[in-house]
Structure 1
């Protein structure tokens, strides 16, 4: 009844259409697993039949014993023991099979949603905290997977269980069926309590879980900064604040569940004792036998359980649409712009390198708040081009634009081959870039594994060559296991300068025609910095090297220098570049 009220309210506020979309999206995954769904239905029906046969056999055994006619007892006992042993073996085997199926299905759905999330436009996805995305990806995916695959089998099996049990009761005593059916409206009315506010509680708990996970993810990702700024007590207090809020939300839901369970249990007790009293009366009146009484009491519990399961399918499905909506919110975000039509031509042209050009570009993260306006930029093959300017003025924004993570609001961001053919910078052109971002980007694993991320089939010799170009091999070869030395998270075990050179070597190994260094030489001394940049240009011909920097040594090596200031990119003349070097 509460479910019907929710649906009526949805119709009134115009959101029933959205709820139907969520429902269809969730069960679109079930289409791929028709065989598994049929298998679950067969398994449930078979289990129900076995349980009913066992109950009838118990009834017959009791009647035989109480009637002092034990001639048929041995056969009934054999049947019961056989059924019990078969049920034990069958349930154990099915438990193993269903676990394998459930894991495979959940992994498939999780992988599909992962692929969709990873293809979402970076700017739109960046608006969601990483902890929130992680919680949706783990918790909500599991809810959707279980609902998508289990809803139909649960409905069919519980319906069959209810009807079959009712038929058994009716066969032995039709008047008992009338009392059994009285259970239905009572439980239907009481289910209103269970449905009330369930959607709100579920939503609040999931959102609180997302907040906690985001805090934990962010904290442990920045533990070095927290320690460096002596913020451990602050984050300790924040954790306890999150814990208090988490406790309040979950205790509120727990209190609601306790009250609901008490009410439903009291109703169940009344129905159970009514059934027991009526069964005793029918036994005393001689209408039923001891075995039939036992059978009725057993089946009463089964009917109540079946009906509760049928009723609970509705709120659980309504609740699962919350998870579906949370996932749809992410996976339905705009996709990255990819244009693979000319990928083969570009791959061939990449051997000779590319130029990068921005023409009259405007860009803003927030509407009407421009970060870059009316700006020009160009970098050509065999050039080192520097981008300088105060922090927060847009240097990293330019790097994102080169990589196709963002696109201009107006103007053109293009890549040009040696023949003058132009292609718009987007996600599909990203493969022609090697990128060394600010900060430490070393992953857990060996040095070789870190480098092979960008070229999985790279030989040890190719890795060593890249390390030499990045001026990293001199210290790597002295490590206990050389390139196979294991590193901790974010390069634990290396200095900042060493980690930076490993990152540069990884970009060199990728051997893309365009190299982006975003403050990537800041931890290197001037001599090493010059040597690294010269090695890249001399040993890897046709490279376009774009560097964001504050270092005068890079400016002296650059063919062009651009300054980002007051939201505009300006090319500096030689005198202005020389003056900037002097002012450093």
Structure 2
């Protein structure tokens, strides 16, 4: 997608900013010269007009092949950009896996592929211009021979023939421009198709505002079904409720659909069937921006943007916040101490994806951001899973503070984090097989008892 936005759009820019103006100038010169030549001698002009289809017929196979090569080049460049970005983004995995030689060879193969395509493109470029010039020279020789014949027979003066030839030479420069233009157009054709496809992708309607409130409303999921691939259902007949100011947890084996439930609640995807309601209103009746404003999401990877701590705390928020407000939420998240120790405080840059912060620090910044959003619904996706015991303790304290007065949904792979939840939904194969408190589930669910036994043995 990055390549589509950068390389394909650059190809189109080159067409519109350079090739089209040159083509327009050349066309004006060609049309003006042809009109004057037509008034001078219509017979010789008619020969020239009849030769244009011949020129196009000669050039068409080359232009078509150049279009194919242009599309191959853009596709290969997109693949190369994607692979390079992925490799650099996961450079630590590359090094820890001793995969440097593999990535070096893989990159070399892709560069060689680009080189071979570029070589083909250069060959066809070098053919197109001279071929057009050769056709023009044949045309000039033909016109010259015809003119000489007419001068010999006395049907044309020598002066008219030389004037006609001068205009013909005047046409030679502009006449090569259409060849270059159609060459550039053929290359840009694939780019315009891909950019058009990108522009035609449906956009989320984030501007729709409804003013519906979620205060003291029960979140209800009723008979929801969902699949990324129609042949592989992920969520099947899912139903549960989350009442205001309660903690609803989701436990169960990996791959059961717990994270997909959160994706559906965030409306990254829409259910194939069933409803998600807030109170008695379907959440689809709320504007996307309005709905997502009601949710604070803290995940285990605590995503961060390159920028300052201040920028990450206020990311996506439209209000202005004072330093005192930012320090207050950092205090609530047990993050103020380490931010104060940083060289620039709130204006300290965190690096790409927050690499300058530890996992626990990133997690507490994410929790501070959730405090600042002051959303009514809190979603926690195993927010302490990858932390050491000291960081986990700090983050857990911050989460307990954050959960007060909110409807909280928690995904947990470790039961120790959810045993005190008001309701635990045991999710397997995309549906809630049983629900209740920790004690109730232990009494009535054999699967849950086995799950608990496994967890605490670990």
2:65 alignment counterpart = 197
Matches within 5 A, 1:78-157: 133-144=1-12, 157=25
Q: Does 1:504 align with 2:367?
A: yes
Greater Cα offset, 463-472 or 138-147? 138-147
Q: Does 1:437 align with 2:299?
A: yes
1-structure distance, mates of 2:41, 2:278: 83
2-structure distance, mates of 1:553, 1:451: 29
User: Alpha-carbon deviation of 1:485?
Assistant: 1.0
Contact 2:223 2:238 in 1 (8 A): yes
Q: Write out per-residue CA displacement over residues 366-406 of structure 1, whole angstroms, 9 at most, x where no aligned residue.
A: 11311111222222222232222333221211110010011
Q: Does 1:385 align with 2:248?
A: yes
2-structure distance, mates of 1:426, 1:583: 46
The TM-score normalised by the length of structure 2 is 0.81
Inter-CA distance 228–507: structure 2 relative to 1 (3 Å threshold):
farther
1:549 alignment counterpart = 412
Matches within 5 A, 1:422-461: 422-424=282-284, 427-428=288-289, 429-456=291-318, 457-461=320-324
2-structure distance, mates of 1:574, 1:200: 63
- SS of residue paired to 2:158: coil
1:247 alignment counterpart = 115
The TM-score normalised by the length of structure 1 is 0.65
1:4 alignment counterpart = none
Aligned length: 436
1:31 alignment counterpart = none
User: Alpha-carbon deviation of 1:219?
Assistant: 1.8
Matches within 5 A, 1:176-195: 184-185=52-53, 187-195=55-63
Contact 1:445 1:488 in 2 (8 A): yes
- The equivalent position to 2:435 in structure 1, one of 571, 575, 581, is 571
2-structure distance, mates of 1:234, 1:151: 41
2-structure distance, mates of 1:413, 1:263: 65
Aligned-pair Cα RMSD in Å: 3.6
- The equivalent position to 1:364 in structure 2, one of 227, 238, 246, is 227
- SS of residue paired to 2:201: coil
- The equivalent position to 1:464 in structure 2, one of 327, 334, 337, is 327
Matches within 5 A, 1:35-434: 133-144=1-12, 157-168=25-36, 184-185=52-53, 187-271=55-139, 287-288=158-159, 299-310=167-178, 317=185, 320-336=188-204, 340=208, 343-344=210-211, 346=212, 349-350=213-214, 352-416=215-279, 421-424=281-284, 427-428=288-289, 429-434=291-296
1:561 alignment counterpart = 424
2:340 alignment counterpart = 477
User: Alpha-carbon deviation of 1:414?
Assistant: 2.0
Q: Write out per-residue CA displacement over residues 411-463 of structure 1, whole angstroms, 9 at most, x where no aligned residue.
A: 212223xxx55534773422221222342412211100111213242221221
2:395 alignment counterpart = 529
1:88 alignment counterpart = none
Inter-CA distance 228–499: structure 2 relative to 1 (3 Å threshold):
farther
- SS of residue paired to 1:370: coil
Inter-CA distance 357–223: structure 2 relative to 1 (3 Å threshold):
farther
Inter-CA distance 232–383: structure 2 relative to 1 (3 Å threshold):
farther
Segments of structure 1 that go 5 or more residues without pairing to the other structure are 1-132
2-structure distance, mates of 1:363, 1:286: 84
